[in-house]
Amino acid sequence: MAIAFAALEHCTFKLPQKLLRKKWLQNIVQAEGNFKIGELNYIFCTDEELLEVNKEHLNHDYYTDIITFDMAEYDDEIAGDIYVSIDRIIDHAQSLGEGFERELSRVLAHGVLHLCGYDDKAEAEIPKMRAAEERAIRLWQEMIAQKS
């Protein structure tokens, strides 16, 4: 099991509390089912860097906050590369009137929840994804409170 955090060349973001974040992500996965975590990589990037990933791999020419690539070799495994635009998180947090930390938590959870089987392409699936994101955010807030 390995959860890693990295950044592409033009992104200066450094994730605080990496060890606690790893534990949080492990807890999300455990709560969602009997999955083993394989190689799970969060890659932080700028809007422009993620736009290039979006164009190159998905043939989409638009900005997004996250792209998740499932790399699992087995049905009971969670593994993949999750690209996260810090620029989009900042913009979304401001437009929603949310704090950066909450939006960051939502997006990080969103990526791993995709790997756990959640989808948000169909209108009927969106409420399920949002509810799972909210559970994950509450879990993060509880973990932070316990640490204090």
In CATH, what number is assigned to the domain containing residue 87?
A: 3.40.390.30
DSSP H or E segment with residue 129: helix 126-147
Domain count, the chain: 1
Contacts of 72 (CB under 8 A, 6+ apart): 38, 78, 79, 80, 115
- Asked whether residue 131 carries a pLDDT value surpassing 90, the answer given is yes
| Residue 31, pLDDT above cutoff 90 | yes
Residue 34 has pLDDT above 90, yes or no: no
Whether the pLDDT of residue 50 is over 80: the answer is yes
- Strands of the sheet containing 66-70, edge to edge, are 2-7, 36-45, 77-85, 66-70
- Select from 71, 70, 75 the least CA-distant residue to 35: 75
Its domain, for residue 68, covers 2-147
| CA–CA dist 51, 29 (Å, integer) | 28
